[in-house]
Amino acid sequence: RNDSDSDEDGAFHDDDIDGVEDENDTELREIKSWGDDLMGDEKDRSMLNAMTALDREKFLAERAERRQVVLDRLELKRKVRGETGVSDNRRISSRREEKSKNSKSLRALKRQRDEKSSKKSSVRAPTANVSSDRRRTSYYDDESSGSDNSRDRRRRRDSRSRSRSRSRSLSSDRHSTRNKNPRPPSPSTKNATYEQIRRITVARNDLEKWMYKHDFDTLLIDCFVRIVFGFDQETKQQKYRLCRIADVSEREKTYTVGNSVSKKVLHLAYGSFKEKTFLMDIVSNSPPTEDEFLRYMTALGTERMISVSLVEAKMQDLQKTRDHIYSNQEIEERISIKKALQRVPANIAAEKLILSAQLDQAREEHDDEKIVDIEARIASLDDLAHEKRQTSGKLEEFAKLNEKNRMAQFEEARRAEIELKNFKKFGITGTQADSKHHPKKSKSKRTQLNGVTLEVYVLSKDTYFDDLDVSDLIQ
């Protein structure tokens, strides 16, 4: 495999280690035993399967990082050795060039002497040839006299070129190393972890405290909540989901959150699914579990988790809100908002008549915005009237039940008082005293008619009823 392949995919194979390092190196043998999938042998696989999904990913990431460090070290050694060979070849080639240049200079000097001798022998040479010979002689004289200086200049130039090529080689090595070892992701691109998400999960108690703040909507966006979404029939427990707050809005009808009243609703996103609107009263006060976080990550699919920088900003905002000390003006504003939400007209019918008159006027003026507002207020009054009727009906039922219980307690107290008086006066209980003044209960007369047993109880002091023939009553 060549260097370009290493730069492109950064993959690691056992061939990268063979022939570069000693086979007795324990670290290299350990890394080779992991294989391409980093799972190792059967013992390592059983250990990894026993881990949770998050711990297993962390363990494999550490192995991959360690393997990448070894790969980078081997690549660097390979490049250094290759660079040394290139430098030696360049040094040999420069020496050959110098030798060839020296030989050229010697040949030029020899040629100069030959020309001088031929010049003396030839007297009738043309003027042009003489001038050209002079120029050529002057050229070679200059080259001969400056051969030492030019040789020094060539050496310096070759030295500079070798240093430049070496620096380019080192810079390319550093660039390839940077490509194989990318910088760790910045907080603006790194995904948030379970602990960080848990710290920006808002509880129901916090929502109840902050719902009257003017920056409540912007504070909650991109925070998380844990909501109830069903009942598990197997475990007989509530099921929860971790959701991200995408937006906050208001609805027309008020509802109760703890001991407060609000119109705020949360637009929650579960992974990559479509946003849905939920009331704040189903938000849990407990933090999310790690399994709920992993299920949320699975639901994200191809979408990315929010970044660490955004999580840190949200943590600062939440902590600032928790540490905030309310001024008197803020407290008064909270009280006024709460009273406005809890306000119920004393006479709903009269209020509806006033609103109906305003609605007719708005329709005559064709003020659509005012019409919608008044109709919403009338609808809210209808809801209040319905709730009031239900509440009053329940109160009437409770009042009747209380009255019944009160009369029963009064009767029991009266009987106890009578029994106490009789006991003090006659030494008998009230039950025995009542038996003297009431007809005594005679024994039951039992007769058999066609296999049917008939019992008749006669309450009378007259002895006539003692000898009564029951069969006469059947006719």
Question: What CATH number should be reported for the domain whose range is 194-339?
Answer: 3.90.70.200
Amino acid identity of 453?
A: T
CB atoms within 10 A of CB 54: 14
Concatenated DSSP letters of 11-67: ---GGGTTTTS-TT-HHHHHHHHH-TTS--SHHHHHHHHHS-HHHHHHHHHHHHHHH
As a three-state string, the secondary structure of 361-412 is HHHHHCCHHHHHHHHHHHHHHHHHHHHHHHHHHHHHHHHHHHHHHHHHHHHH
pLDDT at position 424: 81
For residues 165 and 144, give the distance between their C-alpha atoms in angstroms, rounded to a whole number.
31
Decide if 304 contacts 218 (C-beta within 8 A). Answer: no
CB atoms within 10 A of CB 16: 20
For residues 275 and 245, give the distance between their C-alpha atoms in angstroms, rounded to a whole number.
9
Q: Pick the closest to residue 310 from 401, 390, 224 (CA basis).
A: 224
For residues 362 and 51, give the distance between their C-alpha atoms in angstroms, rounded to a whole number.
69
For residues 203 and 226, give the distance between their C-alpha atoms in angstroms, rounded to a whole number.
8
Residue ranges of the domains in the chain?
3-180, 194-339, 344-438, 445-474
Phi then psi dihedrals of residue 261, to 5 deg: -120, 140
Enumerate residues 6+ apart whose C-beta is below 8 A from 365: none
pLDDT at position 105: 61
For residues 139 and 262, give the distance between their C-alpha atoms in angstroms, rounded to a whole number.
102
Decide if 345 contacts 368 (C-beta within 8 A). Answer: no
- Euclidean distance between the first and final Cα of the chain, in Å? 120
Coil, strand or helix at 266: strand
pLDDT at position 51: 85
pLDDT at position 243: 94
Per-residue model confidence as pLDDT tens for the chain (475 residues): 344 443 434 444 444 454 444 444 677 777 778 877 777 888 888 888 888 888 888 888 888 888 888 888 888 877 777 655 555 555 556 556 655 655 666 667 667 667 766 655 554 444 444 444 444 444 444 444 444 555 555 555 565 555 555 555 555 555 555 554 555 555 556 788 999 999 999 999 999 999 988 889 999 999 999 999 888 788 888 889 999 999 999 888 888 888 788 889 999 999 888 889 999 999 999 999 999 999 999 988 888 888 899 999 999 999 999 998 888 888 888 888 877 776 656 567 777 888 888 889 889 988 888 888 888 878 877 877 777 677 666 667 777 788 888 888 888 888 888 888 888 877 655 555 555 444 444 444 444 444 444 444 444 444 444 554 545 444 4
pLDDT at position 434: 53
Where do we find the tokens 């070129």?
A: 161
Enumerate residues 6+ apart whose C-beta is below 8 A from 128: none
pLDDT at position 280: 93
pLDDT at position 224: 95
For residues 201 and 221, give the distance between their C-alpha atoms in angstroms, rounded to a whole number.
11
Phi then psi dihedrals of residue 364, to 5 deg: -65, -35
Q: Pick the closest to residue 32 from 63, 5, 9 (CA basis).
A: 63
SS3 content of the chain, % helix, strand, coil (to 5): 65, 15, 25
- Is pTM beyond 0.75? Reply is no
Round the CA-based radius of gyration of the chain to a whole number and report it. Answer: 52
